[in-house]
Structure 1
Amino acid sequence: MWKSSRLNVWNANISPMCKICNQQIKTSKHLFFNCGYSCDVWKQVLSHLQRHPLADSNLELEFAIKKARSTKSIDKVYVMLFTENVYDVWLQRNSKVFRNSLSPPNLIAKEIVFRVSCRCSELERHLLIS
């Protein structure tokens, strides 16, 4: 993602567009918060907490940082989901770049929720499946 801008300076013919949606210039903000694919995954993940994504990506990031300092169970689950979401979107980006393969957002969302629920306490798990 960032290397391609360096490669473009060296006249290596690398597209500056997002590899997943091919509609916007690739930046970390776009990939993790604004790309239609990552937004769809995040929306499905948050539905397990009966939440909707915040309208602005900066607000979502600030919210995640705030929740990371909390000791409440619901906040811990949110932060685990947020972290897994970022990680999985990055894996999907790499899969698209190196194998030209992309899993459906609903499958990725299910995998994220499953992994987080495996790491949760019983109380936290209940928040995900209630």
Structure 2
Amino acid sequence: MAVWNVGIDGSRVLCNQHLETRDHLFFSCSYTSMVWRKLVQNLYRAHFSTDWSTIVEFLSQSRDDRETLFLARYAFQAAIHTLWRERNACKHGETPSSQGTIIKFIDKAVRNRLMSLRRDHHARALRGAYQTWIGAVQA
């Protein structure tokens, strides 16, 4: 991140341990890796990772069923968006949210998306996705 703007502080806002890189910001630091683990470890099963490249490769080439793949991809998108917003909020002086709050926020985003599928043409193919998500998320 510091390469884009030489004048910024490159330290990680949420864990204050390493330089801020894409890999560290999303899923490798102690803060974000715990959030990621609680959300998707049971969903990803043997494919679970906190390595950016491994996650993207799994999401790009996965042969899992349509329901699991949808959940994995949507959880990834929601986590990226939420963690980036949290990072920016902290950079601008806001108090960091707890990991539990972030997990609940992402969980709610995924549930809301799944509920919106009831009228969507994908609803039949993803009929059991809500139950799968609830069973996968570690509260």
> Does TM, normalized by the shorter one, top 0.5?
yes
Look up the match of 1:28.
22
- Verify: 1:59 aligned to 2:54, yes or no: yes
Give the Cα separation in 1 of the matches to 2:104 and 2:61: 25
Normalised by the length of structure 2, the TM-score is: 0.75
Percentage of matched positions with identical amino acids: 24
Change (3 A) 1:18 1:110: same
Give the Cα separation in 2 of the matches to 1:93 and 1:63: 25
CA shift, 1:21, in A, is: 1.2
> Which letter maps to 1:102?
P
Runs of 4+ in 1 over 4 A off after TM superposition: none
CA shift, 1:39, in A, is: 0.5
Higher relative contact order (CA 8 A, sep 6+): 2
Aligned residues: 123
Give the Cα separation in 2 of the matches to 1:54 and 1:18: 20
Normalised by the length of structure 1, the TM-score is: 0.79
Name whichever of 50-59 and 97-106 sits farther off.
50-59
Name whichever of 40-49 and 74-83 sits farther off.
40-49
CA shift, 1:55, in A, is: 5.6
Unaligned runs of 5+ in 1: none
